[in-house]
Amino acid sequence: MGGVPYGRPMAMTDADGRDGLQLDQTTVQIGPYLQTWPCGLVLELVLQGDVVQRARVVRPPYGPTKGAPDGVSNRLRGAARLLKLLQLDGLTERCRRAAAAHERHEAVDIAALRAAVRRSGAFAALPPRLGSCRLEGTETDVRSRLRAWLDDGEEQPEGATTEPKSRLSGLLSGLEWNEAMLVINSFTPHQLRGMAPREKVADAGDEPERKHAAMEHAH
Amino acid sequence: MTAATAAAALLLMLGGAWLVAVFDRIAAALVARRPIVSPWLAPLQSGAAHLARRPNRTEHPDGLNWALAPALYLALAFVGVALVPLSTTGAIADLPAGIVLWGAVESLTVVAVFLHGWSANALFPLLGAYRYVAIGLPVMLISMFVLIAAALPAQSLALGAIVQSQAGLWNVVRQPLGLPLFLLLGLSLTLRGPFNYADSADLAGGTDAERSGPPRALWQWARLSMAVSFSAMAATLFLGGPLGPAWGTVELGPLWLAAKTAVVLALLVAASHLLARMPPSRMLTLLWTVLLPLSFVGLVAAGIEAAW
């Protein structure tokens, strides 16, 4: 059963974590470039319909190219990606423009931006406790991370941010596609590099994949 | 049906689709706080650019359905507007149960969008297609309650009779829940903003992700046309359609309808640029546990009001 037709693993049924329906399972590689995606990150996802069953980091994302790793401009760029996922294109544009303006050392009114985001219902639209993990010693979720990105805008001293102990692949299992995308985009590239190290096939460790790997070895 | 009615309907659909695109540019610029640059011509230029590009092809698509889905979507938009009474004397298709056919247009739109995503044979369009069906079903149920409520005061399923029943008081006042709930359907039918689950950013464009060239232009035009069709229907059901003061002896019905349609279009565009979209599972919970019961409350209230 199964095999790798046209160079891709065939869709196979597997036990389901959501509603007990045995749906086809499909394995896809996503990345390194997408509209709303940390640059350079490559994930191998085992999907059942729109639910992520397992995730494996094939390649960690690139580090930030400009500014302090978790500084204002990179946090605004992160907020822009999340807002894009919430279909708020206008506010996405405002965030990106503010990030660019901050890099040119122009004054940026982050409070106004934050008020506009709140009026759009963005915080209410995010489910509570989505992607929750400990960050800098406090429990955070996607909503609180977005809120922190749009906070007063004080430059954090470099290195003050401790990286989260959770692994990205662990946070994604069982999430629906859109929720998984929100979680992936709720970390700065700097934070992601700490929590998304390259993972070997065996790490994700499940029966069909081991077989697949063994077959590749035999060739 | 006279030739003049058909010409008026065609003008409404073509002019309306262009107007939605113009509204979209203006709203996008206002929300992003940047200057509005050439809103009148930009939609036509971007349409022409799509037409000049080559269509994309995926691996083993269901070619027939992939080609037909945008055409079906567009055709459904035109069926919708054919039912709308353009003047007090009648519509292109003046059916005794016109509102029922509009219900069929709504449900077949779900089929058209699903086929568009499914037939591309690619991951993102497929996810968009399934997700759209999951959200589209409860939204459609809400709209069915809203439609029944709008037909109650007229005691008729004919859209002409529903317009006449609003001669004294428009349904937007008589049934305050109706238009807001019906606007949710409009956002869902046209894949917009807070109800854009089919063609969304997290799927890199969803059912439209693998499209380029003329088929993409056709799909976008169909979306704009459906917005016009929906808005004309909303204006008919809630804003009295072509009812309005005449200018001397000249009846201004079609102009009143066009103006009211433009107002609904502006509301639709504003909602799609201003409101955040929830993840699908959160939206499903909200739809089934809050909005669907709310639409039922609206129906009961409309029934009591009509029996009074």
DSSP letters spanning chain A: ----GGGSPPPEE---SSSS---EEEEEEE-S--TTS-TT-EEEEEEETTEEEEEEEEEPPPPPSSS-TTSHHHHHHHHHHHHHHTT-HHHHHHHHHHHHHHHTT----HHHHHHHHHHTTHHHHSPTTTT-EEETTEEE-HHHHHHHHTSS-PPPPTT-SPPPSS-HHHHHTT-BHHHHHHHHTTS-HHHHHHH-----HHHH--HHHHHHHHHHHH-
What type of residue is A52? V
Contacts of A181 in chain B (CB under 8 A): 202
What's the CA gap between B200 and B205, in Å, rounded? 5
∠ CA B257-B258-B260 to the nearest 5 degrees? Answer: 65
Instruction: Provide the β-strand partners of residue B42.
Output: none
A177 at B interface, C-beta within 8 A: yes
Of B96, B100, B61, B58, nearest in space to B79 by CA? B100
> Mind listing the pLDDT tens digit for each residue in A151-207?
865 555 444 455 556 788 889 988 999 999 999 999 888 888 888 888 887 554 444
Q: What is the ipTM of this complex?
A: 0.90
- Residue A217 reports pLDDT greater than 60: no
pTM: 0.89
Q: How high is the pLDDT of residue A157?
A: 47
Q: What is the pLDDT of residue A206?
A: 46
Q: Does the pLDDT at position B191 exceed 90? A: yes
pLDDT of A1 above 60: no
| B127, B275, B279 member nearest A120 (Cβ) | B275
Answer whether A52's CB lies under 8 Å from A38's CB: no
Q: How far is B197 from chain A (nearest CA, A)?
A: 10
Nearest chain B residue to A95 by CA: give it. B32
**Greatest distance between any 2 Cα atoms in chain A:** 61
pLDDT band at residue A214 using 50, 70 and 90 as cut-offs: very low
Assign B241 to helix, strand or coil. coil
- For residue A172, how many other CB atoms are within 10 A of its CB? 21
Q: Please, are residues B116 and B130 in contact by the beta-carbon 8 Å criterion? A: no
Spell out the residues 6+ positions from residue B215 whose beta carbon is closer than 8 angstroms to its own.
B55, B66, B67, B70
Element of type H or E holding B146: helix B123-151
Least trusted range by pLDDT, from A7-11, A42-46, B35-39: A7-11
Q: How far apart are CA B286 and CA B280, in angstroms?
A: 10
B278 and A CB contact within 8 Å: yes
What confidence score (pLDDT) does residue B298 get? 93
Cα A124 to chain centroid distance, Å, stands at 19
Judged by a CB distance cut-off of 8 A, whether residue A161 touches chain B is: no
Confidence band for B162, pLDDT divided at 50, 70 and 90: very high
The mean pLDDT value of chain A amounts to 81
The whole-angstrom separation of Cα B91 and Cα B111 is: 26
| Closest alpha carbon within chain A to B134 | A50
Q: Sheet containing A24-30: which strands, arranged edge to edge? A: A12-13, A24-30, A42-48, A51-59
Residue A121 contacts B, CB cutoff 8 Å: yes
What backbone torsions phi and psi does residue B80 show, to the nearest 5 degrees? Answer: -60, -45
- Conformational region of residue A131, where left means phi above 0, alpha means psi within -120 to 50, and beta covers everything else: left
